[in-house]
Structure 1
Amino acid sequence: MSGGVQNLVISLGAMQLARRIPFDDPVTLNYVRAGYVTVQLLVLLTYYYVSTKIKAKNDLTVLKYVEPASPMSGGEGTLVTTTVRDYDLGQTSSGLKGVYTGVAMMAVMHIYFHFTQPLFIQSLMGLKGLYDAKVVAIHLLGKKPEGDLARPFKAASMFGVRFVWVVVSFVLVSFVR
C-alpha cells in the first residue's frame, strides 16, 4: 500500500475513533492535548537525535544531482554539489520545518477555530510522518540508502506531507461538524 493511501486510511480511521472520544469533557480534552504535545516533542527530539547521528557519521561523500526548478519559474533545474552529510542535514531541517508548520496550523485550528478532533488525528499522523521520513529510516532504523531511500530522495509534495495532512484534517473536520 502506498504512503498516500496509508495516510488516508489512518486519517479516516482516526476520524472514526475521534467521533467516539468525548471532547466536551475537559479532562479528556487535556489528555488529548497532552498526547499531541508529547508526540510533537517526540518527533522533534527524534529529528534532533538523527541530526546528531548524521554529524557523528560525518559522511563527506560528494553527492551531485540536479535540483528541479520551481513549477512557476519554468526554467531548468540547477546542478547541486554537496556532501551526504549536508544533504541529510538539509532533509532533517526540512522535516523540522514541516513539524513547525504543522504545530502552527494546529495552534490556529485549535485556539482560534476551537477544533479538537485534529489534535488526535495529527498525533497519529505525526508518528506516521516520522516513520515515513527517509533520513529517519536511514539513520535511526538502520535501513540501507538503496532504492527508494537512495539519495537524492524523490521530491515530496509541494507543501510537504505534514502540511497537506493538517489541511486534509481541517477539511474533514469542517464537513463532520
Structure 2
Amino acid sequence: MNSAVSGMVLSLGAMQVARKIDFNDPQVLTYVRIFYVAVQAIVLGVYYYATLKIKQKNDLKVLKYTEPAKPMSGEGPTQVTTTNRDYDLAETSKAIRGVLMGVLFMAFMHGYMKYTQPLFIQGIMPIKALYDSKILRIHLLNRPATGDLKRPFEAPPSLFAPKTSSDNSSSTAAAEPAKVEAKKDK
C-alpha cells in the first residue's frame, strides 16, 4: 500500500478512536500527554541511535546524484557529490527536525489553543514514520541499500500526485532506442 494512503487510513482510524476518548477527564488527559511525550522521546532516541550507528559504520563510499530544483527558487537542478555517511546523516537530521517541528506545532495546538484530540493522533503518527524510514531500515534492521532503499532516496509519492518521474524516465528510456534504430535505417 502507498505510504501516503496508509498514513491517511491510520490517521482517520486514530481520529475515530480519539472521538471515543474522554479528554475532559483530567486523568485521561494526563495519560494522553504522557503517551505523546513518551512516543516523541522514543522516536528521537531511535533517530539519535541511528545517527550513532551511521557514524560507527563510517561508510565513505562516494555518492553522486542530481538534486531536483527547488520549487519557486528559479534555480535548476544541482549536481551533488557526497558520501553515504554524510547523506545518511543529512537524512536523519531532516527526520529529527521533522519530529521537533511536530512537537513545536503540538505545543502550540495543545498549549495555546487547548486542542486535545491531536495529542493522541500525533502520538501514533511518528510510530508509522519510524516504520517507513529508509534510514532505519538500512542502519537498524541491517537491510542492504538496494532497490527501494538505494541512495539517493526517492521522495515518497504524495496521495494525489501523478505518476512519479521514475515511471516517466523508464518509459522515455525505452523510447530512445527506437529513435536511434529509426535513424540507423535511413
- Fold match, TM over 0.5? yes
What amino acid sits opposite 2:91 in the alignment?
Q
Measure, in 2, the Cα distance between the counterparts of 1:24 and 1:133: 35
Bigger radius of gyration:
2
Shift of 1:73: 2.1
Matches within 5 A, 1:19-58: 19-58=19-58
Match of 2:10 in 1: 10
Match of 1:122 in 2: 122
TM-score, with structure 1 as normaliser: 0.86
| Residues 53, 139 of structure 2: 8 Å contact kept | yes
Matches within 5 A, 1:21-170: 21-156=21-156
Measure, in 1, the Cα distance between the counterparts of 2:144 and 2:74: 35
Secondary structure of 1:65's match? strand
Point out where structure 2 has 5 or more consecutive residues left out of the alignment: 159-186
| Cα root mean square deviation, aligned | 1.3
Match of 1:171 in 2: none
Shift of 1:142: 1.8
Shift of 1:151: 0.2
Measure, in 2, the Cα distance between the counterparts of 1:26 and 1:80: 52
Point out where structure 1 has 5 or more consecutive residues left out of the alignment: 159-177
TM-score, with structure 2 as normaliser: 0.82
| Residues 138, 145 of structure 2: 8 Å contact kept | yes
Runs of 4+ more than 3 Å apart:
none
What amino acid sits opposite 2:92 in the alignment?
T
